[in-house]
Structure 1
C-alpha cells in the first residue's frame, strides 16, 4: 500500500471514530466511571453484598467500554506514527505491519459501530436466553443442544460471564430446553437479533442411512432486569412446585427438592430454575425471569394493538430466521440479511459475530426504513 493511501485510510478511520465517540458519549462514560469508582471505594460498600455486586459489576463494564474507546483512539495515533517512521526509514517490514494493524483497526471500529446501533430501552442489559427444541424428534433436541453450545462458546470467546440456569434433558439425544444468562454490557441488545426459529437440515445420525432430516429450535432472548419491581405479581396468581434437580451435576444434584417451577396462572407462563444451590435462590431467579417475560408480553401486546389500529399486522414471532445446512452445500444462511457462512462447523463453535452484526445492522435499517 502506498503512503498516500495510508494517509487517506487513517483520515477515514478518524472520521469513523469521531462519529462513534459522539454517539457513545465518552464524557458521560467517564463521568459514570468516576461516580461508580467513588461508590466502590465507600468503606460501607459491602454492608449490602447485593448492592455492592451491582456497583462493582457496572463499574467493570463501564471501565471496559472506556478502555475500548480510548484504546482505539490510541491505536489510530500509533498507526499514524508507524507509517511516518516506515516512510522516513523506507522500511517495508514496518509498512507490512502497519497494513495488518489497519485491517485490525477497521474490524475494531466496525464492532464499535455496531454497538452504537444498540439504542433500545433494554439493549445495555445482560441477557437471559432460552432455547427450546421444536419439530424433528431426536434431531431437534440434538440441534437445541448444538445451539446451546454455540452461544456459550460465543460468550466464552468474548470473555463474557455465563450461567446455565435451567436444563431439561431429552430422553434420547440432546435437550428439550435450556435457559442461560449472559452477563455483559449490551448482551441483550446483541443477542436479541438471534430470537426466532432456527432450522437445521442434515443427514440424520438417528434415523435411516442417507435420510435427510429437517428439525427446528426456538430461541428466546430477554433482558435481565436488575430489580424485580417492574411487574407486581399477586401471590394468588402463582403456583409454586418444587422438585429435585435432574441431569448430570455435582453431589448436591438429586439430593434435595431445591429446583423450583413457577406457573403464572392467568397467562400459563412457566419458568423453571434448578441450577442454584438452594430453593430460595432458584425461586428468586425464576421470579425475576417470570416478571421479565410478563413485562415483555405486555409490551408486545401494546405494540400489536398499535399495529392493528394502523392496519399493518405481521405475525413475526416464530418465523424462521436462519437455516443451517449440514449436507451438500454446507452452509449457514440468515434469511433476513442474506448473510452466509460456508463453514457451519466454525459457526457451531461460536464464531457467529458476522451473523449477529449483520442482524443488528439489518434491524437498524428496518427501524429507520420500515416497510409499509
Structure 2
C-alpha cells in the first residue's frame, strides 16, 4: 500500500479513536440498554412527556452508536479495499478505495465537531427565533427563506421540530417565527447561527427590477430543563390573548387561543399560536420565555467574562452574506467559508457552515 495512503488511514484511525473515547462507546451501549428497558415498560405512556423524552433519547443514542459502528467498520475495511485493488491491479477498484477514503475523512471530520460541543448548555435542544430586519418586504421574504432553510436542515438530519409561533407579514414572508429543534446538541450546534444574515438579490417585489439588500436576525436559545432556576414572577408578566392568524392576516381559529407574553423587566415578548387551547399556548409561550431569559443570563455572563479579557470578544453581529446577484455566493464573514450554490444552502445544506462556525468559536475562545 502507498505509504501516504497508509499514513492517512492511520491518521483517520487516530481521529476516530479519539471520537470513540469522547463518546464513551461502552457507556453509550449501556445507556441504550437502560433506555430500551424503560421504553418497554407497559406504563411508559402514562406520563407522555417522560415517554417522549425516553423514546427520543433512545432513538438519538441508537443513531449515534450506529454511526460510530458504521464508520469503524468501513475504516477497518479500507486497507482490505486497497490490498484487493493492488492484487488485481485494478485502477477502477483503486479509485473506488480513494473515493471511500475521502468520504470517510469528511464524515469523521463532521463527527469530530460534536466533540467540540462542551459548553454548559450545548447538549440541550434548541429554540430558534428568526426576525425580519431592515429591508421591508424583501426582509420578510428572506426571514421566511431562513425559516425554511433551518427546518429543511433539521428534516435532513431526522430531527423533530415544533413551530410555536409565526407572525406573517402583510405582503409576503414573515415578521418573525419561533421553533424548537428536538435533538441532543441542537443548541450547541445551531448557536453558531446566531446573528444577522444579509441577502443581496434582484427584488421580486420591485417593479423596476432593482437590486435590494435585506437583513434577518437569528436568535438561538437552549431549551429550559427542570434543573434550571428561571423564576418568573406573574406580576412581571403581561398576558394578551388573540386569534391565531395565517398568511395575509386570515384567521385560522375562531377563538382567542393565541397567547402573547410580555416580560416587563426585560421587554422580552413571546407568542404561541400553534396549539388549539389557550392553556396549551400559554404553557408553550412560558417555556419559550424561560429559554430566552436563560439565554440572556448566559449572554450577560459571557459579556462579563469578555470584559475581563484584553480587547474583549469580537463575535460581531453580521455573520453571513447570501448573494444571488450579480453573482452566486454564500459567505460566512467569521470563518471566510464560501459556497457558490446558494440554492443548496437555502435548501438546508448548511452543515459545512455550521461545522466551520463551531471550529471558529473554539479557536476564538482559546485565543
Sort the TM-score into its range (normalised by shorter chain).
over 0.9
Which deviates the most, 273-282 or 214-223? 273-282
Residue in 2 aligned with 1:339?
337
Could you say which residue in structure 2 is the equivalent of 1:129? 128
Aligned partner of 1:152 in structure 2 is 151
Instruction: Tell me which moved more, 235-244 or 34-43.
Output: 34-43
- Structure 1: how far apart are the matches of 2:157 and 2:362? 23
Q: 1:297 to 1:50 in 2, by over 3 A?
A: same
Encode CA deviations 1:10-55: one digit per residue, 9 max, x unaligned: 2222111112222222233223222222322333322222111111
Deviates more, 1:295-304 or 1:178-187: 295-304
Matches within 5 A, 1:167-186: 167-186=166-185
SS of structure 2 residue aligned to 1:59: helix
Gaps of 5+ in 1: none
Match of 1:325 among 323, 326, 346: 323
1:65 aligns with 2:69: no
Q: Which residue of 2 aligns with 1:143?
A: 142
Shift of 1:170: 0.4
Shift in alpha-carbon separation, 1:142–1:248, aligned structure 2, 3 A: closer
Please name the residue that 2:277 is paired with: 278
RMSD: 2.2
Equivalent in the alignment of 2:354: 356
* Residue correspondences, number: 366
C-alpha displacement at 1:352, in angstroms?
1.2
Residue 329 of structure 1, CA deviation: 2.4
Q: CA deviation at 1:116?
A: 0.9
TM-score (norm 2): 0.93
Which residue of 1 is the match for residue 10 of structure 2?
A: 11
Kept after mapping to 2: 8 A contact 1:339/1:358 = yes
Do the aligned partners of 1:3 and 1:87 also contact (CA within 8 Å) in 2? no
154-163 or 172-181: bigger deviation: 154-163
Which segments of 5 or more consecutive residues in structure 2 lack a partner in the other structure? none
CA positional deviation for 1:240: 1.4
| 8 A contact 1:333–1:339 mirrored in 2 | yes
Please list the CA deviations of residues 302-347 of structure 1 after superposition, one character each: whole Å capped at 9, or x if unmatched.
3333444556455757x11111111122211111011111121211
Separation in structure 2 between the aligned mates of residue 51 and residue 315 of structure 1, nearest angstrom: 41
Q: What are the equivalent positions in structure 2 for 1:1-372 lying under 5 Å apart?
A: 3-227=2-226, 229-247=228-246, 253-310=252-309, 312-313=311-312, 316=315, 319-369=317-367
Please give the alpha-carbon distance, in whole angstroms, between the structure 2 residues aligned to 1:314 and 1:136: 28
Between 146-155 and 75-84, report the one with greater CA deviation: 75-84
Q: Report the 3-state secondary structure (helix = DSSP H, G, I; strand = E; otherwise coil) of the residue aligned with 2:51.
A: helix
Q: Does the aligned pair in 2 maintain the 1:228–1:288 contact within 8 Å?
A: no
Q: Secondary structure at the match of 1:231?
A: coil
Given that 1:122 and 1:223 are in contact with CA atoms closer than 8 Å, whether structure 2 keeps it comes out as yes
Deviation digits for residues 35-89 of structure 1, max 9, x if unmatched?
A: 2223223333222221111111111111111111122111111222222333333
Contact residue 123 and residue 188 of structure 2 kept, 8 A: yes
Contact 1:155 1:162 in 2 (8 A): yes
1:95/1:313 CA distance change after superposition, 3 Å: closer
- Contact 2:165/2:273 (<8 A) preserved: yes
Decide whether the 8 Å contact of 2:169 with 2:247 is kept in 1: no
Q: Choose 77-86 or 358-367, whichever is displaced more.
A: 77-86
Q: What's the TM-score, normalizing by structure 1?
A: 0.92
